[in-house]
Amino acid sequence: MALHSQEPLNIQDLDGSKPGQRILRFHGPVVLGTVFQFQAAIRAKDAPSLIMDFTEVPYIDSAGIGALVGAYVSQNKEGRKLALVGVSDRLFAALQVTRVERFFKIYASLPEAQEA
């Protein structure tokens, strides 16, 4: 098994199809080694609706899940929406094991999330 912690995390920060939507598209693992970068991208700017695209995320560890839950808590507290897109079976299983999947609205595709 390859060490995911050695892989970089690339993040694209895009505007959504509707006003107030922000899309963060992640490429790479969300793990302890990339979690600060992940959190910084989320905090970089506020948008009423944040869509996180995990289509190109091969792996998430407990640090990544913790950061994701932290993002949910801060978005929720401030009355903003958070949606996840492109969550693979492997990522969803990690969310289920940690019993946090119920916190997130998960959509099959980006257009679906943007319409919601």
Judge whether 88 and 57 are in contact, CB under 8 Å.
yes
- The predicted pLDDT at position 100 comes to 96
Residue 6's pLDDT band, with cuts at 50, 70 and 90, is confident
Tell me which architecture the domain covering 9-115 has in CATH.
2-Layer Sandwich (3.30)
**What is the chain's mean pLDDT, rounded?**
94
Average pLDDT estimate for 52-57: 98
Structure tokens at 94: 């990690």
Average pLDDT estimate for 1-24: 86
Residue 109 has pLDDT above 60, yes or no: yes
Residue 2 has pLDDT above 90, yes or no: no
Structure tokens at 24: 């963060």
- The predicted pLDDT at position 86 comes to 97
Nearest CA to 24 out of 33, 14, 32 is that of 14
